[in-house]
Amino acid sequence: MDSSSQLIPFDTSKPALWFLLALITFNPTAWNIIARNEYRNHTLTRLFGGNPRLACYFLASMIFSFGMLRDCLYRYALLQQPYGLLLPQPWNTLVGFALIVSGQVLAMSAYYQLGVTGTSMGDYFGLLKDSRVEGFPFSVLRDPMYVGSTISFVGGAFWGERPVGLFVSTWIWIVYYVALRFEGPFTDMIYLRRGEVKTQGIVDLTGSERGTAIDNDGLAPEAKRKEI
């Protein structure tokens, strides 16, 4: 369907749009699969000589690279789509700017709180923090990076004056929402097990920040040796 159709405000004949939707779906799905495999089998840790921190940095580089590719493809795909103001000017530009800034504040402040390993699923590598982060933006949102990213894409639709951006942003949030249904409970389980281990006094897992991996049952190898 071309851009002259009044049924939808975008051109479905452009391949870049479909590549973008596929990449949006691929990214969080792939990272969750890789991270869960790492928690159970330590595949990346073994590939990097038993160093979970180095393995996590590798995953972080992949997440960053594919995220940049998605952002570039978003801008490219929108430029191929029909132009259209979502609000009368100057409100269209002002709203777009405000949304982009708000989204980036949420995303970057979350990154500041979590660091590289925290934002790159370091929990699955056994790189846990002493406690769950509760400062801003986590004091107002449970998943500020996903929310901030979505808000930024919505802002991009206003700023770039492309209605299709709202459709893409909606798809982004659907994908994030599904990913969070798996990622959130699994992360909670990891911290719950770590809390149980610390309560039992089996091992001080704060050492996991120095690279201690946690096996499938939630115990570090040192803890297992002490139990034997």
Question: Is 183 assigned a ligand-binding role in the annotation?
Answer: yes
pLDDT confidence bin for 201, thresholds 50/70/90: low
DSSP tag of 205: G
Question: Is 13 assigned a ligand-binding role in the annotation?
Answer: no
CB proximity list for 178: less than 8 A, separation 6 or greater: none
Question: Is 184 assigned a ligand-binding role in the annotation?
Answer: yes
CB proximity list for 138: less than 8 A, separation 6 or greater: 110, 113, 132, 144
User: For residues 52 and 213, is the Cβ–Cβ distance under 8 A?
Assistant: yes
**Secondary structure of residue 3 in the 3-state scheme:** coil
pLDDT at 196: 66
Give the span between the Cα atoms of 64 and 70, in whole angstroms: 10
More confident residue, 6 or 176: 176
Within 10 angstroms of residue 199's Cβ, the number of other Cβ atoms is 8
Spans of all domains in the chain:
15-227
Buried b (16+ CB within 10 A) or exposed e, 182-192: ebeebbeebee
Q: Is the pLDDT of residue 124 over 60?
A: yes
Q: In three state form, how does the secondary structure of 135-153 look?
A: CCCCCCCCCHHHHHHHHHH
More confident residue, 10 or 171: 171
Question: Is 38 assigned a ligand-binding role in the annotation?
Answer: no
